[in-house]
Structure 1
């Protein structure tokens, strides 16, 4: 039994693996080229080998001596941790330090430089930070601008404090920590950091001064950084990359800059251009046929906007409503609304049907009652045609035979209601006027009665 259960599990796993294998793949590297280095994906225009990257600036050196292997930008010591096709290169860079003990300076990385040549330090993603209670830091850089050799710029940041109790957590406003923004277009910078009093009187909680550029969303100051950063060498930062030096308008004059199902756009920082897949497509826009259609209706990474039915199409999808509903079927639109006309039609149809049924039953009931009345009258005169005559004669000539004596059926309680309904009074007191008004099938009887009564007077 256990073996059978294991076989079933293996069959299910096999189906899942087959399903994953059959799913559409979106290639990121050129054919025959490695698309990974350790934990880092390497999309074209970047590459790790000859013919796999676009120009020397996009070379990624994969060092297998590390476990897992580490990726470095070109042949530098700049560690690459992530590459996005949106023009972002996530790297790690050394920080500048200036440390002291009671005997004087003990450790220093001062200054720290970064030369990117063709790429740009991201002003949107990074900040410049100095940390320490006796710290003066500065950043000098080169602004790369189109049509010029660049301009020098410099920014400084100072932080100080004389007691740890005054240093707040989560706040970098000059007390133990200082931060500032960066200018656009910086492709080279140098950091320097120093102190004014060699951290005298604060060595026990702030032995060092630090200066670095860091990815803003990964930085949240803590007073523990005053001594913990002494053991940290690199911190994350973001670099903006693009292709060439010309804008989309310039490169698309004579040829298409980007591959099929993609479009060209200019970066926010620096020169050159970038490509991205059109809406409804995914993949690498720098590769031929690199942007493939997304099935928005089944792709788990895509949240389609349909409330009910989703139909995929090339580069797009459509929403629709089930039968009996109307609307655009979209979550951010009209959605699907039940057709009121249909509800009304059903309600009206039911109402009309019930009304017709009730009317039919009513007509059948009254028709039956009318038929029954006629039959009762016929039965009455057929069986008792002479009864009323005898009663009238007995009233003229004296006490006669009682109706109940000769016709005991008139005392039957089951016939009282029908009899009274027919005659309107008790059988024993039916008068001549009622009899004279009766004309159902007995004209001779009426004539005879009239003649007898007239002759008696």
Structure 2
């Protein structure tokens, strides 16, 4: 069949509100918006990528003055010269044609878009040089809104709604939602209409305030008026003078009542807080009094600070003063009125168990006077949560010193040995020299602090226990820190002085290896440092697990002696472990016997200190205490 081409000049004069609005761009960004005097709104477009699809492509003939747009009508290869573009299905309109064209009725365009062309003479396939009437309608797809999937091919953009093309015809078109204007086919083109700024759209009456919202507007009556403020609603009516006074009185009375209620609640809160503090103090003093039966003068050594004193010392517990955080609370650095620098531990919201630990720590520390035990200066009970005041130790914890070493101040072998000896001496004091024996129950590197001269101080006595001289063990709920916990205590719930020995043995391993007690970075069988270390001892490969600084600086006899002592402390059976007094004695003797390395010693001569030259003999029996 021979292809026939015709020109169709269609004169259209539509208001383009279904597609575009004056305040929003009707064409696709980066594409021509006009052809001559004709606006080209999207989904139509001039040029590649400027329309919704090939069926909406517009050809702009610039050889005429002014330029004229032409549209390609698919199946019949029909071009039409257009003076404007829009949809006509909403209002049925017809337009005269001055050129002949091939009539195509209901043709499907690329399976998505349909065009319907009607002509006066339905029997003609080609009509030349006669005036006829044409109607240009277009739609999207062949399914209505309820059938069209909401995927990437769905043409309606945000703030636009889908409208069925017709009751008996498939397809849909898009239009901006109520309260929005723009091109519903362009992304972010449908924009909110400011009804308040447009007198014809403003829904509010006089004597009201218009507040624009997305897609709408709200109205509120001015002071002295009542109603909804809407033109199509109740509007705004002036209040009678008596009603105004009535509402003013009601408002003032309500405000006064609310103020009195708040004041009453505040007073009630203060009363309960005062009573709670009083009960806490009474409980503390009662518990403390019971302890004085076995510890004369314990209370006299504990100073009670006021809340104002500690707030002033810490600048109202300023976050910049925080120097530590723990499971029980936050530690602030402060300065008392006499210039003493202190550490103030502010407990979190406390339950009964935490109060007991707080009292326990005060009672125990008030009885201890040892250079290697942190000194409790006092406490405060006049606050919602109790607060403890300690001497300030500026160099943090042994844990940080080992596992986050400072390049400018490394932890030398001599320092490690001295730290171990001092901690052992403090524990030996607690077990044997204190007026009442004390089991610490939570020895670990984070509870060993360092002062300005790097002298160690054992801290955190919250779960420590006072024991009678003839008492061999405590039966308690298992408490402590995994990695340091005595396996025998874990199985039997019986805590003995040898349980502290086991925990100290783990801390000793940290000093030797600089490794953490529990580490997921090690193989599963070696995640526990105690088991990991003992496996190297059994394999005669001690050097492989030691910290480089220990193996390079320490005399081999000293390091091996400390390693063997650590192994004895880690014996599974508590009875085969040494006492803390024996441990302290051995370590102190090593500290005393240290001989400084001669200044003239060369690197070659110092090789006798390297473990690569040592023949290991770990099978010798030294398991007894």
Larger radius of gyration between Structure 1 and Structure 2: 1
The structure with higher relative contact order (CA 8 Å, sep 6+) is 1
More strand, by proportion: 1
Please say whether Structure 1 and Structure 2 have the same fold, judged by a TM-score greater than 0.5.
no
Q: TM-score, normalised by structure 1?
A: 0.39
